[in-house]
Structure formats: C-alpha cells, structure tokens
Structure 1
Amino acid sequence: MDARVNPLSADPNKLATSNRPTRAEAEAAVRTLIAWAGDNPEREGLLDTPKRVTKAFGELYAGYDQDPKAILSRTFKEVGGYDDIVMVRDIPFHSHCEHHMVPFTGKAHIAYLPHDGVVGLSKLARLVEVFARRLQTQENLTAQIIDAINENLGPRGAAVMLDAEHMCMSMRGVHSEGVSTLTHRFTGVFAEDRTEQDRFFAMVSRR
C-alpha cells in the first residue's frame, strides 16, 4: 500500500492524504477569500491570518483524521448484570454546516441498551466530537453517531437526539436568532417499543 494513502480514505467523506492541498496552498486560498471579501490580505492585521486560519481548521476539522471504531473499541463486561438504559445527556458539541461553513452548536443526548458490556462514558462524548469536527448537516451527524454505536457496540437498541442552533439561520439568511433544531433517531428496541422511546424522552428532559 502506498504510504501516502490515508487508511481512512475508503470513507467517501474523506480525501486520501495524497490528495490534500499543501499548507501553503491552503494559506493562499485564505488570502484569496480575504481579497474577495474586499479587504487587503497584505495589511498588518491580516498578514498572519492565513496561518491562523489553517491552524484553526486543523482543530475544527480534526474529526476527519479520527476513527470512531478505535474510540469504541474497548468495552467493560463486569457490570453486575446491568442491562438497562445507559444515557449520557447534555454533551456539548460545535460543528460547521457543510452548506455555508458557519457553526452550529448544541447538545447531544445518547442512550443505548447494552448487549455484551458497556463502553466508557467519556467515549460517547468523544464519538460526538469526532463526527462534529467535520463539515456536517445535523441530520447526518445524528445518523453517523447512532450508526457508529450500532456497528461497534452491537446494543439491543440505541437512541440519539441533537438539539442545536444554526448560525446559518441566525447570522445570515432569515436572521432568526434562538431557533432550536431537534433531530433524533431510534434503532433496535427503541425503534420497536414506544415505551422505551417515552423513557428516553423523559430521561432527556429530567432535571
């Protein structure tokens, strides 16, 4: 295998490493956008902006270089026979809309019914971060999180809800501030049993 090829490039959402622009090319693109916006990329306050932006992109979109399978690979079986809902709620996330590349932020609520052990609670928060740190739609982010849980943990059922505000609505376009978008998806027992769905919603709203 060519050492330059990213082993994750089988994912259609990812480029092989060999196809990525260089840092210099990325910085040149930022300078072009600054000029297109109407400012002078050569003025003092903007001289180092291309470097700062590319560095920030490395952090904001770090999810492309992270593997959800590795995050969920370790489970614990000594749980005293516990087989009821495991929920981690109010997981904060920050992502970027793939249509306008502006932020949307919110909270994720995740629950699953264990089948053969449980995963560390912090791993669910890390899973959200992996997918959030990519260009996204909220609908796709919801699906990716629950699909990763099902594929790697094999639970009897899983439930995910995202509650987010999109800057593409509040900063531009209709300028509707404070609008909340909710998405959710159920699989397994949660999809089949309305009682389990009601339990999930009750646990999410409990304060």
Structure 2
Amino acid sequence: MLVGYMRVSKADGSQTTDLQRDALLAAGVEPGALYEDKASGKTEGRPHLAACLKALRPGDTLVVWKLDRLGRDLRHLVNIVHDLTERGMGLKVLTGQGAAIDTTTASGKLVFGIFAALAEFERELISERTIAGLAAARARGRKGGRPYKMTPAKLRLAMASMGQPDANVGDLCIELGITRQTLYRHVSPTGELREAGRRLMDQSRRQQGS
C-alpha cells in the first residue's frame, strides 16, 4: 500500500498542498491514504507526520513529493528512513534532488546509503569541531560547560545577607538569580565562605591584579 505525506510551511492559507496532492495521487496513492501538515520544517511537533508513520504497515511505502517535505534536516531524514527500513517499509521520493530515492529498489537503497554516509560525516565534523573548540578554550584557561551564575559581587551580597539572623534564603536566591544549591555551595548559613566561594574570590583577586 502507498501512503502519501504532504507539508507546507505556512498555515495562513498563502500556501497549498495542491501540487503535492496531484503528484501523490498520480503516483498511485489513494485519497484516503494522504496525510498533511501545515508547519515549518524545523517544527518538532508535526502530528500528521506522526500519524502517517504510525499508520504504515510492513510492506507499505511512504511517498513524498520532495525530500524537504519529510525531514527537518539530513539526520532527521536518515533516522526516519532507518526506522521505516527496520519496520519493513519503503520510502519513495517523486521529484527534486532526492527523486532517485526509492528504498524498495536496489539502486534507491544505494542512493540513500550515500545520504546516510553524509549524515554520519556531518556528525563527525560537528564532534571534531566541538572537541577542538573545547581544547582551544582550555588552552586559554577557560573550561567548557555552562558558567556559574554566582559572581564575586553576588557572593559579597550573599555573605552579608546570610550573616543576618532574619535572612530569608528563598528571597535572597530570587534577588541574586541563583539556586539554593549554588548559594550553599559558596556560602555557609552563617555567611562564611566555603571552598567554592574562596576559589571564586581568589580568582577575582587574581584577575584584578593582572
């Protein structure tokens, strides 16, 4: 059985699926086996695509007008086709740059294999760039990851406030824009510096002296 999927980027009526619908029907997809979304290709939630993929059964073929109607990007597309293949289903693209893809044929599987290899190559490049970026940052004295929200100025306010008997920890955290965990990592309940707080203050003094 052939199952068709269509998508346009705008839901304001300025775009229609008429061209896609005509092409899918001409390819042999029955009107009752057509699914349509009106959403950006980058949108995570495409309910009719999810319903379409769920409706497919072993031996069925998903038919799309162009590749960009289906996947958000190359990796997303590869993941969809891998899932279809594992479930015993095929993908056929009618036009555009992916028109040679028909995973129900040997030549179509070969073409998609090239797409999958490109997606893997892209992942490796991104990983290499990330590792190189972290190494360069460490060489300059910076560490990767999310920076602390605590600053020397906030730390001084926290020390002064926590030393007060009527200090409200919840209000203080809201005012400073930090969590309780961050606060107590740097300052004791009596306002004394803890190890993380001492390191932050020492770092601040070194930067001021340089």
For normalisation by structure 2, the TM-score amounts to 0.24
More strand by share: 1
Asked which structure has the greater RCO (Cα within 8 Å, sep 6+), the reply is: 1
For normalisation by structure 1, the TM-score amounts to 0.24
